[in-house]
Homo-oligomer: A and B are copies of this chain.
Amino acid sequence: MSESKADQSDETAKPRRRQARGERRIQQLLDAAASVFCRTGYTSASTNAIAREAGVSPGTLYQFFPNKEAIAVELGERLNRRMLETHGVVFTLENAALPLRELLDAVLDPMVEFNCANPAFLTLLQSSDAPGHFLEEHAALHDSIQDRINELIGVRNPDLSPERRTHTANMAFALFKAGLVLIIGHEGTEREAYIAELKTALYGYLAPVLGTEGIPAQP
């Protein structure tokens, strides 16, 4: 899935040459899948419904994905990749040194915006049903974000024990996801209100651990 054209050393001779049309179809199908997953969740989403939403036949769908699970995995990977691009901008050392209030703005605003624009990401992160291998991918998604938070806390407060740091990172992420559900579930000024509430909550939780002041630049 990941390596499309690289002749990898060992296995999987993949002589599949995609045409531009094919890449376009894949994108259509993933967009449709995101829409259907959001509406019904992973398990209840039927591949026929995804194909219909994409305006293609079931057979065409299986031209590009070996099975239903692969659709969710590929969608998750793509969203995660785009999320990590946001991460790269967001979890920087400069941001980590900011006063807490500004740090939260700098981290949360892009994250919230991304998730409002791509609600499927939250859906995949939350989906607790789903069979076997999908759960592993799910966990990987989770950890990849978790690590960033963990790292940021470590930079900001190096004296914290690793256990407390992990607990704090886990809880902070969980609180963030909980807030996201409310945020995505509302619109307009209501949404803005919940964004503010989420920041308040995280500020109150993290202030004692990370301090409210910024960190001066190191020599």
The stretch of A19-27, A90-98, A105-113, A163-171 that contacts the partner chain: A163-171
| Least Cβ–Cβ distance between A184 and chain B, in angstroms | 12
CB <8 Å contact, A129 and B40: yes
CA gap between A182 and B142 in the complex, in Å? 13
For A194-215 the 0/1 string (1 means CB < 8 A from B) is: 1001101101110110000000
With A182-B170, A182-B174 as contacts: A44 and B200 at CB distance below 8 Å = no
Q: How far is the CB of A102 from chain B (nearest CB, A)?
A: 18
Q: Is residue A177 within 8 Å, beta carbon to beta carbon, of the partner chain?
A: yes
**A interface majority secondary structure:** helix
Q: Can you list 27 A-B pairs, Cβ within 8 angstroms, ordered by A? A: A40-B129, A41-B43, A42-B129, A43-B43, A43-B44, A44-B131, A123-B128, A126-B128, A167-B193, A170-B194, A171-B179, A171-B194, A171-B198, A171-B201, A175-B175, A175-B178, A175-B179, A175-B201, A177-B178, A178-B178, A200-B205, A203-B204, A204-B204, A204-B205, A204-B207, A204-B208, A205-B205
Where the two chains meet, the residues of A that have a C-beta atom closer than 8 Å to any C-beta of B are 40-44, 123, 126-129, 131, 163, 167-168, 170-171, 174-175, 177-179, 181-182, 193-194, 197-198, 200-201, 203-205, 207-208
Report chain B residues within 8 Å CB of A171: 179, 182, 194, 197-198, 201
Question: Within the complex, what minimum Cβ distance (angstroms) separates A201 from chain B?
Answer: 4
